[in-house]
Amino acid sequence: MAMNREGWLQIQKELSLLYDLHEAAISQTGKCRDFNSRTSILLQHLEEQGAFDMADRVMDLLAGCNPKDTSPCDNRLSTKASLERLQERIKSKIIEMDEADGN
């Protein structure tokens, strides 16, 4: 089943929230576990919607995510860059759908 535009908009919103949570985790290391948990939920949602290409990217992101409670993330910059790339991919999907619909 192909995800519709509303589904992609919801994913875009969740990625934005994850990005903000990740940025907050830089100064509040306890938020790393929240980020990891919410990212896992996003992965599950993508798989349920059949968006396997995006799910693979989120799985890669999780593979490098090692939540810590007392020290900063070792992969902070890499995770941030991955989130930014995911946001761009989702944005491109939405634009493609808009163009296909003539919007």
pLDDT digits (tens, 9 = 90+) for 16-25: 999 999 888 8
| Tokens (6 digits) for 4 | 């519709």
**Model pTM score:** 0.84
Task: Categorize the per-residue pLDDT at 1 as very low, low, confident or very high, splitting at 50, 70 and 90.
Answer: low
Question: What mean pLDDT is predicted for residues 26-55?
Answer: 89
Torsions phi, psi for 40 (to 5 deg):
-65, -40
Q: Is the pLDDT of residue 103 over 70?
A: no
- pLDDT of res. 4: 87
- Span 60-101, pLDDT tens digits: 988 888 776 666 677 888 889 999 999 999 999 999 988 888
Task: Categorize the per-residue pLDDT at 42 as very low, low, confident or very high, splitting at 50, 70 and 90.
Answer: very high
Q: How far is CA 43 from CA 10, 19, 65, 101, in A?
A: 13, 15, 13, 27
